[in-house]
Amino acid sequence: MIYLCLAHMSEDGMEQKYVKEAFDTNWVVPMGPNVNAFEDDLERFVNGIDSSAAPQNDKKLDREVVCLASGTAAVHLALIACGVKAGDEVLVQSFTFCASSHPITYLGAKPVFVGSEGETWNMDPKLLEEAIIDRKAKTGKYPKAIVPVALYGMPYRIDEIMAIGAKYGIPVIEDAAEGMGSRFDGQVLGTFGEYGILSFNGNKMITTSGGGALICRTKEAANEIMWYATQARDAYPYYQHSAIGFNYRMSNVCAGIGRGQMTVLEEHIAHHKHVQALYEELLADVPVVKMHKQPADPRYDANFWLCAATIDPSVRVKGQENAYKEVVKTAVGGAAGVIHAVDCATTDCQPNENVEALRVFMLDRKVECRPLWKPMHKQPVYSGAPVYTNGLEEDLFKVGFCLPAGPYVKDEDVRYIVECIKEAIEK
């Protein structure tokens, strides 16, 4: 089976070395030498020290990184640090995974969804400013934060979004969970805003099996995040708490995996870019299938965490007559976890029948070909939430799909995948 993206360990087994050290020294807790060293490695990377990530604009970065249990935890703590409380509104990209918006609701706050623009598929700055002005008019106050997302690793229009945030005094929390190592104007995503989110889930650019990190602008901010992540204890010789804290710190064992993964991060990024280029080359003679490419502007440097494409709605795919005829009973593809049973195979917002038929056709040939993220404002759980959209992300969801791009995907796999796509399309 060729999955979208699976973790790949370093060939020299550095992950095992650091994990063994954690057990040998009995540091099997959510703190320890591996956590500290992993944070140091991440700081060197995001700040461009001894790395190809060095900013091209000669601006020295001194960001701090706090390792956490997940990228979702990082979003949650960033919102708290930005002062988000119950009843507040937060502007968040609609075209994304639920981890970008769910933490807003953890706090009793309200997500306000912002649609996408056509080049990057990320938050549209024009819609963002429209939303800010309209929310102020309707509620009497500005939203408390802006959360753009690096969808599939593609950089968002960060210069425009940062300018809008500054104009209205709203902090930007960059959700770069899918954009580890993606850059804008030579600078790593997650280092532009007030906070930046990283994820090390098992399907990301590098993994700690599960985990994430929060990029902070100052040591003071990082210390505050660390305080909240370790149950918010006050300085007494006994446990006293003046705020609600969380058990969000990364374990020393997981951090050991992360330290080993840092040795192959640049290699993984280069591989994903190579796979994207190969898909573009091999699908050039299939005009009904279009790869999602980054803007021609040289400032954009995507990691292509997943390679995304669209298929013309008029194209007929083999087996299309059977699309959505049966209810799905298990998690699809590489998706993990427990799913709730449903009694209907269709919803009011779903991929076109040829996209679903392509998924099934590819699965039969042992290739994972998953739909794009369903826009959050079309999710039942967010029914009635404010949304500012031009409909683009809904249109993309109907015609789009993701292709395997991980470190285990070889050139011959890409060629096989493309041949399967060609075979699936009825002449």
Residue 107: what residue type? Answer: L
Domain 14-264, second-level architecture: 3-Layer(aba) Sandwich (3.40)
**How far is the C-alpha of 242 from the C-alpha of 248, rounded, in Å?**
18
Residue reference for tokens 């796999």: 413
Give SS3 for 275: helix
Q: What type of residue is 88?
A: D
Residues forming a β-bridge with 402: 308
Q: Residue 52: is its pLDDT beyond 60? A: no
- pLDDT higher than threshold 60 for residue 370: yes
Q: What percent of the chain has pLDDT over 90?
A: 86
Residue 149 contacts by C-beta under 8 Å, 6 or more apart in sequence?
A: 92, 93, 95, 96, 100, 122, 123, 156, 175, 177, 178
* Residue 416 vs residue 343, higher pLDDT: 416
Q: What fold characterizes domain 266-424?
A: Aspartate Aminotransferase, domain 1 (3.90.1150)
Residue range 144-172: average pLDDT? 98
pTM of this structure: 0.95
Residue 58: per-residue pLDDT = 57
* CB distance 335 to 214 below 8 Å: no
Alpha-carbon distance of 395 to 405, in angstroms, equals 24
- What residue ranges do the domains of the chain occupy? 14-264, 266-424
Tell me: pLDDT of 120 over 90. Answer: yes
Q: How many helices (H) and strands (E) does the chain have?
A: 12, 14
What is the arithmetic mean of pLDDT over 47-62?
69
| Rounded CA separation 304/178 (Å) | 9
Asked if residue 186 lies in contact with residue 55, where contact means CB atoms within 8 angstroms, the answer is yes
pLDDT in tens, 162-185: 999 999 999 999 999 999 999 999
Residue given tokens 């075979």 in the structure block: 423
Q: Average of pLDDT values for 359-376? A: 97
pLDDT value at position 333?
Answer: 54
Residue 331's pLDDT is 66
pLDDT in tens, 389-424: 999 999 999 999 999 999 999 999 999 999 999 999
**CA distance linking residue 155 with residue 310, whole number of Å:** 19
Question: Please, which pLDDT band fits residue 335 given cuts at 50, 70 and 90?
Answer: low
Query: Residue 9 has what pLDDT?
Result: 83
Contact between residue 84 and residue 144 where contact means Cβ atoms under 8 Å apart: yes
CA distances, 374 to each of 151, 320, 371 (Å): 12, 21, 8
Mean pLDDT of the chain: 94
For the cut 60, the answer to whether the pLDDT of residue 57 exceeds it is: no
